[in-house]
């Protein structure tokens, strides 16, 4: 992890957000051409991964794929860059929190998440997947995300829901073969994905089914044991029955969950659009609809204060560092020594001989300066006299202005 703040190309990293198996995630600020600034998220490859060609290719592929996607429910990728041998992606910053953090905060603070907002989030994720699955590339017929997890679902305080991190996404080409490696989080894998088989868009829909199951039940679906690792649990795909939820038209909602989580790929929803239609129809018929505006207001009311306070405090600290230490103006005595006019009287009167043509009695007392000699203005070598002059001029101007205002008033 970088020591912050850190300059990465034209971006200034000032807050570490998260770490993953491939990259560190930072919050960064970049200056615009007209002197303004804006926030972005920087995904920088871990140093231990940068030396491996496979990981570098994965980050580059992510940037190339995601940069072509333009949808309200997909986090925008703005730039792929390299700084001193370190690869990074600059992405859209979503002011809010991810679904994993939201569920954690709700659990810790005993804040119930309304059902209409749970279903709203799932509908927005399905909109993002429907777009990605139907997106046409030159040699492909769609993009499979393969890592639909709570941490990759971003929720903004404006009520937006955005799917991010296409790090292991793949384009669906006609000659696609099974992968030699299993990539993704086992807790949200379809059984065919966990086995390393060929996957299509229905693997993403199985992951959405897991999200829906967990949002309805309030607990994790897959759980490893001391004898069975999580990847084996995902391969088995044994889905426990949901407890009674006391929701309107509950059988219809259970049917949606069961179809999304069907172990046999042919028994699942054929597309994200079909699943979205079923979920939308259920929400409308049971009056479980929610808008982005209402969802954003709810998020802001419960979570914005602490989240924004941290981000703004760190951004202020970055601004202070960029400006440097405060300038202190101080009038110091001259190194050349005091001028004759500013010397204090000596304790002993100087011994001086009077001119022979004048009697000694005509001398003025040595301890008293001549009355006609005006006090001199001391000008130090470091500009103290200039500061005194400016202060005098400002005071004079202020007094003149006050006198003028007084005259106008009378």
pLDDT for 174? 39
Residues 297-316 have a mean pLDDT of 90
How many CA atoms lie within 13 Å of 227's alpha carbon, on the beta-carbon side? 0
Domain assignment of residue 254, yes or no = yes
Domain assignment of residue 149, yes or no = yes
Same domain (yes/no): 120, 249: yes
Q: What are phi and psi of 408, to 5 degrees?
A: -65, -40
Same domain (yes/no): 83, 155: no
Orientation of helix 115-134 relative to helix 201-217, angle to 10°: 170
Task: Give the residue, 292 or 139, on which the prediction is more confident.
Answer: 292
- Catalytic residue numbers read 147
The residue out of 308, 331, 352 marking a domain boundary is 308
Same domain (yes/no): 28, 115: no
Domain assignment of residue 372, yes or no = no
Same domain (yes/no): 55, 122: no
Same domain (yes/no): 70, 194: no
The residue out of 67, 93, 119 marking a domain boundary is 93
Give the count of beta carbons closer than 10 Å to the beta carbon of residue 132. 24
How many CA atoms lie within 13 Å of 144's alpha carbon, on the beta-carbon side? 23
pLDDT band for position 194 (cuts 50, 70, 90): very high
Domain assignment of residue 317, yes or no = no
pLDDT for 332? 63
375-384 residue pLDDT tens: 544 444 455 5
Same domain (yes/no): 158, 10: no
Task: Give the residue, 380 or 308, on which the prediction is more confident.
Answer: 308
Highest mean pLDDT among 19-33, 72-86, 280-294: 280-294
The residue out of 68, 93, 118 marking a domain boundary is 93
Number of domains in the chain: 2
Residues 62-90 have a mean pLDDT of 90
Same domain (yes/no): 66, 100: no
Least confident of 153-157, 195-199, 231-235, 351-355: 351-355
Residue 43, domain extent: 6-93
Say yes or no to pLDDT of 60 above 80.
yes
Q: What are phi and psi of 333, to 5 degrees?
A: -65, 150
Domain assignment of residue 24, yes or no = yes
Structure tokens at 167: 């790090």
pLDDT for 322? 73
Domain assignment of residue 345, yes or no = no
pTM of the model: 0.76
Per DSSP, the three-state class of 70 is coil
Same domain (yes/no): 59, 140: no
Domain assignment of residue 206, yes or no = yes
Instruction: Report how far residue 45's alpha carbon sits from residue 55's, in angstroms, rounded to the nearest whole number.
Output: 8
Same domain (yes/no): 55, 113: no
Same domain (yes/no): 26, 104: no
DSSP output for 342-397: GPPPPSSPPP-PPPTTS-GGGSPPTTS--TT-PPPPP--TTSHHHHHHHHHHHHHH
* Residue 312 · residue 14 · CB < 8 Å: no
Task: Check which CATH number belongs to the domain holding 34 and give it.
Answer: 3.30.200.20
Task: Check which CATH number belongs to the domain holding 234 and give it.
Answer: 1.10.510.10
Same domain (yes/no): 105, 240: yes
pLDDT for 409? 47
Domain assignment of residue 277, yes or no = yes
Residues 84-100 have a mean pLDDT of 93
pLDDT for 92? 94
Same domain (yes/no): 107, 89: no
């Amino acid at each position: 992890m970088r020591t912050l703040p850190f300059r990465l190309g034209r971006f200034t990293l000032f807050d570490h957000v998260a770490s993953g198996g491939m990259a560190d995630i930072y919050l960064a600020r970049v200056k615009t051409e007209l002197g303004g600034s804006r926030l972005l998220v920087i995904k920088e490859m871990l140093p231990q991964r940068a030396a491996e060609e496979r990981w570098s290719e994965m980050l580059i592929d992510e940037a190339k794929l995601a940069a072509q996607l333009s949808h309200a429910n997909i986090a925008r990728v703005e730039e792929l860059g390299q700084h001193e041998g370190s690869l990074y992606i600059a992405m859209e910053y979503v002011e809010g929190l991810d679904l994993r953090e939201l569920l954690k905060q709700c659990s810790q603070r005993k804040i119930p998440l309304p059902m209409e907002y749970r279903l709203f989030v799932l509908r927005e994720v399905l909109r993002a997947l429907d777009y990605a699955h139907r997106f046409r590339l030159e040699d492909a017929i769609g993009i499979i995300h393969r890592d639909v997890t709570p941490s990759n679902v971003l929720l903004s305080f404006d009520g937006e829901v955005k799917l991010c991190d296409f790090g292991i996404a793949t384009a669906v080409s006609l000659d696609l073969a099974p992968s030699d490696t299993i990539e993704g989080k086992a807790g949200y894998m379809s059984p065919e994905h966990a086995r390393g088989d060929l996957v299509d868009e229905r693997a993403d829909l199985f992951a959405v089914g897991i999200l829906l199951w967990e949002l309805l039940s309030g607990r994790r679906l897959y759980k490893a044991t001391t004898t069975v690792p999580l990847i084996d649990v995902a391969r088995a795909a044994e889905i426990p029955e949901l407890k009674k939820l006391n929701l309107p038209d509950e059988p219809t909602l259970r049917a949606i969950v069961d179809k999304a989580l069907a172990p046999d790929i042919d028994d699942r929803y054929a597309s994200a659009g079909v699943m979205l239609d079923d979920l939308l129809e259920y929400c409308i018929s049971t009056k479980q609809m929610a808008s982005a505006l209402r969802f954003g207001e709810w998020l802001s009311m419960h979570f914005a204060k602490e989240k924004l306070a941290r981000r703004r405090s760190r951004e202020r600290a970055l601004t202070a560092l960029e400006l440097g230490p405060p300038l202190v103006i101080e009038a110091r005595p001259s190194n050349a020594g005091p001028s004759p006019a500013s010397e204090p009287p000596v304790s002993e009167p100087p011994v001086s001989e009077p001119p022979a043509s004048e009697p000694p009695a005509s001398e003025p007392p040595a301890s008293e300066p001549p009355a006609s000699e005006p006090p001199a203005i001391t000008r130090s070598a470091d500009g103290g006299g200039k500061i005194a002059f400016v202060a005098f001029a400002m005071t004079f101007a202020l007094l003149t202005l006050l006198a003028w205002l007084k005259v106008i008033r009378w």
